Chain A
Amino acid sequence: MRITQGCFSFLPDLSDSQIAAQINYCLEQEWAVAIEFTDDPHPRNTYWNMWGLPMFDLRDPAGVMGELKACREANPENYIRINAFDSTKGWETVRMSFIVQRPTAEPGFRLIRQETQGRNLRYTMESYAVGRNPEGARYAG
């Protein structure tokens, strides 16, 4: 099941030149661009691993693309996303976030139904990938 989080996730995967164009837009808005990766695709997992520090004062997407390339090489079967942070007073938040790499096979989520008092049901989502292997080996091979 294809994970849909952030911008553009209902579109086909962006090509590198499309990614660079989006980063260019972010830089033109004077947002700081950061790269993050994870192998836990749960939508509530907001704490992805940072790939280096957020990049401030960049003028051109080439710098980010270089880091993205390095991140892809180091984390081939992981999710990688690009965040653009707006530090303008009043915003001070991530204004744009999109996935730029995903594992080749995304097994999706299992819905766990827990029966509780009465006939109530509690629902939990668990990713098959997370359940099958420990962190770091979830999507390998």
Chain B
Amino acid sequence: MNAPENAPATRIDLAAEFRDAGIGEVLDTLERDLVGLAPVKRRVREIAALLLVDRVRQRLGLATEHPSLHMSFSGNPGTGKTTVAMRMAEILHRLGYCRRGHVVAVTRDDLVGQYIGHTAPKTKEVLKRAMGGVLFIDEAYYLYRPENEKDYGQEAIEILLQVMENQRDDLVVILAGYADRMERFFESNPGMKSRIAHHVDFPDYGDDELGEIAERMLASWNYRFDEDARRAFDDYIVLRRRQPHFANARSIRNALDRMRLRQALRLFESGATVDAEALTTITEADVRASRHFQPDEAADALPERAAPATNT
């Protein structure tokens, strides 16, 4: 990333450069594996293109600042922030902006200590582990607790800021969380906001996108919907979205897990012999047995247990 050693070339084939970096594959898998998220994919492409062009500019001897790569991912739960962070790390690694390309995912608990003098070593240890890769801070706004002026979170933020500024080529920090709370976090920490170059918003998934996600999840577990079940699941998505604690793809995964349970019980209780077809198929009955289809349930529903805050 320093000045080029060899004499600067005069013409560089961007397409060849793109192929050699191998980011094409990463971008393609991103495109293929993740449903929807068009604006996010576009931003990732833009960032990748910028880095590639920067690298080429350096080879031509045009001075470029080492780009600031810290990012903020904001969006509702289950919209793919962690998954995209993993891909981002790989892209940065292939472009040579990140030596290892590993992701260290942490939350407030990993950074902030419990007593005076505990926070700094804890934060520094996490930072050391993340060096050469990406530090992914989930629900970053919890670091800042304005209601408690003695909160140690501020100390962690200050150490983070220092490293984000001074060791930009050792570490990329990605902050993630709900959009509105991230906005408030940045308002109260202008230093943090000014050091983050890329703000990426993750939109909620549409109903059809969630349906596609469900199919892919099932396929990866060697299950599938039959036709009626697929239609029933579309209805399920509409109903589920109206319930509190809707967490996009994560809610879908939990729902599919429950449907697998019901399918297993159904097969077990039928007592008949089963074949691979029966073992892999989720039927309409498995879907329609969900609580969300019970008509009177909406009124006095047990609130579904909140989707787990941490990603699994």
Contact = CB atoms under 8 A, between A and B. Distances in A.
Interface of A: 52, 55, 57-64, 66-67
A64 B132 CA distance: 12
A59 B131 CA distance: 7
A63 B102 CA distance: 14
Given A63-B127, A63-B128, 20 more contacts: A52-B121, A55-B128, A57-B129, A58-B129, A58-B131, A59-B100, A59-B131, A59-B132, A60-B99, A60-B100, A60-B132, A60-B133, A60-B170, A61-B132, A62-B128, A62-B170, A62-B171, A63-B131, A64-B128, A66-B167
A59 B133 contact: yes
A59 B129 contact: yes
Closest 3 A/B residue pairs (Cβ): A60-B132, A63-B128, A62-B131
Contacts of A66: 128, 131, 167
Contacts of A67: 128
Q: Give the size category of B's interface with A.
A: 10 to 19
28 contacts: A52-B121, A55-B125, A55-B128, A58-B128, A58-B131, A59-B100, A59-B102, A59-B129, A59-B131, A59-B132, A59-B133, A60-B99, A60-B131, A60-B132, A61-B131, A61-B132, A62-B132, A62-B167, A62-B170, A62-B171, A63-B127, A63-B129, A63-B131, A64-B128, A66-B128, A66-B131, A66-B167, A67-B128
A64 B167 CA distance: 13
Contacts of B132: 59-62
Interface in B123-177: 125, 127-129, 131-133, 167, 170-171
A37 to B, nearest CB: 18
Contacts of B167: 62, 66
B181 to A, nearest CB: 30
A55 B99 CA distance: 19
Nearest to A60: B132
Contacts, number: 36
Q: Is the interface of B mostly helix, strand, loop or mixed?
A: loop
A55 to B, nearest CB: 6
A58 B133 CA distance: 10
Contacts of A64: 128
A52 B128 CA distance: 13
Contacts of A61: 131-132
A121 to B, nearest CB: 50
Contacts of B171: 62
A59 B170 CA distance: 11
A42 B128 CA distance: 32
B104 to A, nearest CB: 8
Nearest to B170: A62
A127 B102 CA distance: 46
Contacts of A58: 128-129, 131
Nearest to B125: A55
